[in-house]
Amino acid sequence: MIQQILPSAIACADATADLPGARVLPEEEALLAQCVEHRRREFTTTRNCARTAMSALGVEPAAVLPGAKGEPRWPAGVTGSMTHCDGYRAAALTRSADFHSVGIDAELHAPLEERLVRHISAPSEREHLRELARIRPEVHWPTLMFSAKETVYKTWYPLTGRWLGFRDARLTFDPLAGTYRARLMVPGPVVDGARLGWFTGHWAVRDGLVLTAIALRRGR
């Protein structure tokens, strides 16, 4: 499903159920030593999605180990992102010669608690959410905003190596086109010779899920 909101140059693999018989690589096994069975299956299926995407790129399947902040460390020449929620796991990878960074996220399409809405958003964004709800009341817009901000961070971190808080980006959505724009409220990285001030992404709601994605192409 995630492929539908990403460029065709990005290799995607996803699963709506954990893969029977799937295994992690030996380098990853230590990461699961203290994990409950549900977390082990989730981790294993998501990593297998990542290796399927590697194979689609012609890259030798490799272990995906976490970096200093838990970010996935990809093989040389590859950039990408992974996501998982109840009933869905996915990975999206591409050549770093073609894209600076890729971020994806999936969440259950369900209401977000009000305290979390206020935590992730600025007052102007909450007014925007109310406007969106009047246009398309069938969409859980706060959950979509949460997912999109997760995707912004996943795209931001490989470029900067720095934390980005929920309120460090202001989001606006096009409720009909399935796109969104994230304006950075902190100095962005220099990309293709210019300081980045915003990201643009795509979103979709289908099969009980919210899906968001950003693909930052080189020389855009």
Q: Where are the domains of the chain?
A: 2-98, 105-217
What string of pLDDT tens digits covers the 220 residues of the chain?
999 999 999 999 999 999 888 889 999 998 988 889 889 999 999 999 999 999 999 999 999 999 988 899 999 999 999 999 999 999 999 999 999 999 999 999 999 999 999 999 999 999 999 999 999 999 999 999 999 999 999 999 999 999 999 999 999 999 999 999 999 999 999 999 999 999 999 999 999 999 999 999 998 6
Cα(180)–Cα(135) distance, rounded to whole angstroms? 15
**Domain 105-217 architecture:** Alpha-Beta Complex (3.90)
First to last CA, the chain: 25
Among the listed residues 130, 118, 121, the one whose alpha carbon sits nearest the alpha carbon of residue 175: 130
2-98 carries CATH number 3.90.470.20: yes
Closest CA to 92 of 83, 100, 151, 206: 83
Angle between helices 123-135 and 141-160 (to 10 degrees): 130
